């Protein structure tokens, strides 16, 4: 598929893929930080456990 790429094009493609992955990971981290309580609560309810959020009393 990439047999006709020059070294410059291959380097550009690899750098673009690395940047994309870094942005995806940053997005997942941000989503987890903002929604961890909801995610944990949903997982606990799906497994039949009772979940009390730590930020609420």
Q: Going residue by residue through the chain, which has 57 residues, state the pLDDT in tens, using 9 for 90 and above.
A: 567 888 899 899 999 999 999 999 999 999 999 998 888 888 888 888 877 766 654
> How many H helices and E strands in the chain?
1, 0
Helices in the chain by DSSP H: which ranges?
Answer: 7-46
Dihedral through CA 18, CA 23, CA 27, CA 30, nearest 10? 110
């Amino acid at each position: 598929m990439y047999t006709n790429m020059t070294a410059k094009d291959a380097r550009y493609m690899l750098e673009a893929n690395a940047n994309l992955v870094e942005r995806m990971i940053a997005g997942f981290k941000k989503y987890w930080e903002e929604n961890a309580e909801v995610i944990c609560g949903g997982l606990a309810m799906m497994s039949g456990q009772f979940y009390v959020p730590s930020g609420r009393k």
